[in-house]
Amino acid sequence: MFGNFKCLLSMVLLFSLVMPVFSFEPSGGVLSLDGEDDYAILPFAEHGHIFPEGTHAFTVEVWFYPKAEPKGKDKDLILTQQVSVGLKARDQCILGKNQLCSYRHAYLSGDRAHGLAGADRAIEKDQWNYIAIIFKNSTLCHASNNRISQGWRLPFADRVSLHINRPEGVQDFVVGGYGEDKFVAPNGALLFQVSSFQGEIDAIRFSNIARYDCAQQGHNPFDPPPRFFNDEHTLALWDFNDKEGATRFEDTSGNGKTLIGMNGAAVIGGTGVDLNRNPEDGLEIRPDTSLTTTWGQVKSEQ
């Protein structure tokens, strides 16, 4: 009897490990990106930076469904300007089965330095994923699905940077890519190149506060918000609940930051993504599994 009880208990514990820790379905439409040449843009000439000068705290968060992984030294871009989120080569993360390597970085400044700080972390293949990057009191952390990291103290950075080391022609805020952009070493060797994201994006929110508390150490359990709502701290919010086929994506924060779809980037309807679906079909939600992090380093420029 006792042996049977131990066996049953082991089965229950094992079953609990593979159960989904959260469930997600899109709120309506999603932005569909083919990974070839389509993307969405918020022109810098018209809107400038999303985070204004003197922003000392922020949260950027996104729900997305990747349908392909980067090839070779490509970095598949989900979004970028003062904060960048995307996918990168598998060998840059410690991955489990059915996982992809993601990155999330922020351009930060202080009185004596400015540069890029962030993390690489595994996310799940063939499901919806949540990423947030959070900054407050010179401390940066990030959330991936059901985990939030401990804070990384950056004593020489206390605000979002307006000094972004990117070509002048790509200072815009972009979602999904912006064309070929190669980064090479002094000897001419290719370090990596920016490539386009293939998949769907349900929502993106920029806030001028740190909406979530970093873990004290390690990684804490985290409940990602299934919906992003507008409040006085929301600088931009795209939920892509626009009309089917729309190529202009309204900023529901009311701040007028309308994204413009390029080269076929458009809204598709439905309530989710089936892996073998037509664009109009629904979405399959799969369990979250373990996640692993590797931290980047601040690149200070005097």
Q: What is the pLDDT of residue 40?
A: 94
pTM for this model (two decimals):
0.79
Q: What is the pLDDT of residue 276?
A: 36
Q: What is the pLDDT of residue 169?
A: 56
Q: What is the pLDDT of residue 74?
A: 74
Domain 51-237+288-295 belongs in CATH node 2.60.120 = yes
Q: What is the pLDDT of residue 173?
A: 93
Q: What is the pLDDT of residue 139?
A: 97
Say how far apart CA 250 and CA 158 lie, in whole Å: 31
Q: What is the pLDDT of residue 299?
A: 28
- DSSP letters, the chain, are -HHHHHHHHHHHHHHHHHS-S-----SS-EEEEESSS-EEEE-HHHH--SSPTT---EEEEEEEEE-S---TTEEEEEEESSEEEEEE-GGGS---TTEEEEEEEEEEE-SS-EEEEEEEEEEETTS-EEEEEEEETTEEEEEETTEEEBPEE-TT--EE-S---S-GGG-SEEES--S-EEEE-TTS-EEEEEEE-EEEEEEEEEESS--SPPBSSSEEE----SS----TTEEEEE---S-TT-SEE--TTTT---EEEETT-EEE-SS---TT--TTS-----------EEE-------
Digit-by-digit pLDDT tens for the chain (302 residues) are 434 433 433 333 333 333 344 567 787 899 999 988 899 999 999 999 999 999 999 999 999 999 988 887 778 889 999 999 999 988 888 888 889 999 999 999 999 888 889 999 999 998 999 999 999 999 999 999 999 999 999 999 999 998 776 666 568 899 998 765 544 444 444 344 577 899 999 999 999 999 999 998 889 999 999 999 999 999 999 999 999 999 999 999 999 999 999 999 999 983 333 333 343 333 322 222 222 222 232 223 33
